[in-house]
Structure 1
Amino acid sequence: MGNVERNHVIVLAVIEGAMSVTEAATRFKVSRRWIHTLLARYRTGGLGALDPQSRAPRSSPHATPPTLRTRVLELRTALQRDGLDAGAESIHDRLTREYPNPPSVSTIWRILKADGAVTPQPHKRPRSSWIRFESPAPNGCWQSDMTHWSLAGGVPVEIITWLDDHSRLVLHISAHTTVTVKVVTSTFLATAKLHGLPASTLTDNGMIFTTRFARGKGGPNHFEHVIAQHGIVQKNGHPGHPQTQGKIERFHQTLKRWLGARPPATTLIELTTQLAAFEHVYNHERAHRSLGRRTPAQAYAALPKTGPTLELLQRHWRVRHDTVDTAGAITLRWAGKLRHLGIGRTHNGHHVLLLVAGADTLVIRPDTGEIIAEHQLDPNRDYQPKKPQKPLPKEGPL
């Protein structure tokens, strides 16, 4: 006997059969309290009221307000329109800027699912199973690649990017008619001047990055010579395995979705403006799942930078690329503060290599190979004068 039929029999036995509540409780093995509950329902709504009642609460004080549910769907639409990731975590990032207590990521996902905005895909590989490789510090490794794009009218152009492997920070992005070895080298040096030198680079095996598959013709290209000169380790992915450069590949996918959501640029200058706008969004506004929902700029600034090292005088020297300013000095962040290292006004405007090992520095002119300054850094001083160079011994009589 089902529960519904049983409830009907109990009530009819008491009402029509003149069975007492105590007798009915003994006969049907239920509590007297339950029988009184059934009788109260019967008097209110008849036999239909004896059917099982919903256990859902009559009110949901913790339910997401309709206005907030509407805002979730609005953000989903806006992010898709802008060519940005529109998942529950990205929406949650935006809501934290608007509400003191935004709904959780799982709640946002349920709102999207209920609206038909997402389709569960249980067959997809869970992100927790991915094996991630990441440089332990900023400037530990820079990834670079070029990708194809088109201006209005289908005019082909190429975009080159330098990306920090640790933080995903876009260090440089620019558009060119064609990306050549000269473009690779010049963009690398300009980026190094702004952010410091990396310890290593990771690229594919394109001829603009390496001639390792040129069958010995011509030797290393200009880019390979430059990074070798600075003590930088060059790494290249295996042919036919783009997953090695996965971060830069995914970045270019994100870039193209963002550009595709806007009217195509008509000139390289206009495209450059678009790239600058995207760089700001990507570095400073778009939080990343792989960075603990931080932005690349936050992750890049969170740890001290690393850099290349050279074996010189039986010591390992960190390498920096810099330009002597009009006051005849260069700057170095050391022991938590920015220091000004005296070089000399005669070297104003010249590119130099700064080698640092503990508190000792060497400053070299790459064009002449001359050591033009040495310093013993003093943690109590801002301006660091260079060591006096020992004069050559005077010529005496033969």
Structure 2
Amino acid sequence: MSHRNARLTVHGRRLLVERVASGRPVAHVAAEMGISRATAHKWLRRWRAEGGAGLADRSSRPLTTPHRTPASIEADVCRLRTDRKLGPARIGPILGLPASTVHRVLTRHRLNRLSWIDRPTGTVIRRYERDRPGELIHIDVKKLGRIPDGGGHKALGRQAGRVTRNNMGYDYIHSAVDDHSRLAYSEIHPDEKAATCAAFLTRAAAFFAEMGITRIERVLTDNAWAYRKGLAWKNVLAELGASGKLTRAYRPQTNGKVERFNRTLLEEWAYQRLYTTNDERTAALADFLHTYNHHRSHTALGGQPPITRVNNPAGQYS
């Protein structure tokens, strides 16, 4: 993706080079492409020095920032934010800083929203991120009522749907989300027993390996019995060479990435349209997952789909 103010994309820069290489004057080519001669010469210099790679975008971040707020003062800003939950307008006078500067510091350290901080402890509970794919996998189960043939209450109305859905039971959607890339995998099962959870983890690991995440280091789950005590679950973790980690009791935010994925799952798959049978909804899950992983823009990834972070694990999206 080119810089938002760039006149030329990478494709446009290649056209520039091809037209100049064909013997046309640089000034003429620059004029017809709507750029200055200086810009045209810049891309030609990079192309001659580096080849095609020289036409790619580069970071506009400066090498040094001499006027940036000192690290010690930034630490004081963060301390006042996490310890006393103060905002920029109150932190500024304490430290002798403009509120706008305090806000930029908080944004840089991802503390600009109090909803991302656990109020009692000051611990950041949202917007954390692991450094590489496979370092941490979030797993959770979402219980969803089955749809009777002909449709449920969403299709038939509350009164009619209440009669037809009796004794239909529930589907249990098991989902795994990679912390770094947000790559997701889901399956629908009739229960959440230990054997079912263990078999799901095995297939999820195979899916992640197929996508390029060949090693799972840790698996984070809630405190359900299947994850705490299930021998089948512990055996699969041992086979994968992964360690299990449990969330804090009564703190679903700890497993926030898969909890947020569950919400997307409901909005963009389960409740996205009216289904007339449960099998119809089940069949639509695969298409949703492919779209989510390969095509759907993700706000936490700079508008890119999760698969781009597997292919480019060192890339930064902010």
- Taking structure 1 as the reference length, the TM-score comes to 0.40
* Greater RCO (CA < 8 Å, at least 6 residues apart): 2
Larger of the two Rg values belongs to structure: 1
Normalized per residue, which structure has more strand? 1
- Taking structure 2 as the reference length, the TM-score comes to 0.50
Normalized per residue, which structure has more helix? 2
